[in-house]
Amino acid sequence: MTANKTREAIQPRHRAGWTKWLVFRALELRGWRMRGRFPKPFWRTLVVMHAPHPWQVSWAKWLYPVESIRVDQHCDEPVLMEAWSAGKCVVFQTDGSPTQLGQAQAWAKSCGARVTLCAWESKRQFFHVHAPFKPSKHEERDVHYMSRYFKYFLQNLSDYE
């Protein structure tokens, strides 16, 4: 039986602890609060994020305990695997469409990564982090689960004003 190379342990590229603390305090000064925790840094993680404003993605990347890269929907698997092999987290900003969520699920499934859902809620000034999950073999079930999570945040049209 051959070993599954996507399951081998990664060596995370940790950030300095003071950077996370500094960004967290800056968000608090701006009135933002955080709910949930980012996953353990030794997992391959695909962070699927709803962020109405561009600054929110950059700031969230600094809250994660390891270095992160941002990818767009035209990214391919070798780029993802290279980032995870280097011990980094991958951040994918979504508009909540089933196509994008399906693509995120397929990436995570094929690369052996966990999916962490995040969303910025401007109305109450919360940054929500959902517990990570392993994608199942049923793509439509995972996409439905993710779309249900993002439904509340996408209904708040005031986020885009």
Q: Which residues make Cβ contacts (< 8 Å) with residue 6, sequence separation at least 6?
A: 44, 81, 110, 111, 112
Q: What is the pTM of this model?
A: 0.82
d(CA 50, CA 119): 5
The residue ranking higher by pLDDT, 30 or 158, is 30
Residue 91 three-state SS: strand
Using one digit for the tens of pLDDT, what is the confidence trace for 32-79?
999 988 776 667 888 899 998 888 988 888 888 788 888 888 888 888
d(CA 65, CA 42): 10
- Residue 28 token pair: 């608090």
Mean pLDDT value across residues 138-158: 86
Give the E-state strand segments of 38-80 in sequence order: 45-50, 68-71
Q: Which domains, ranges and CATH numbers included, belong to the chain?
A: 32-155 (3.40.50.300)
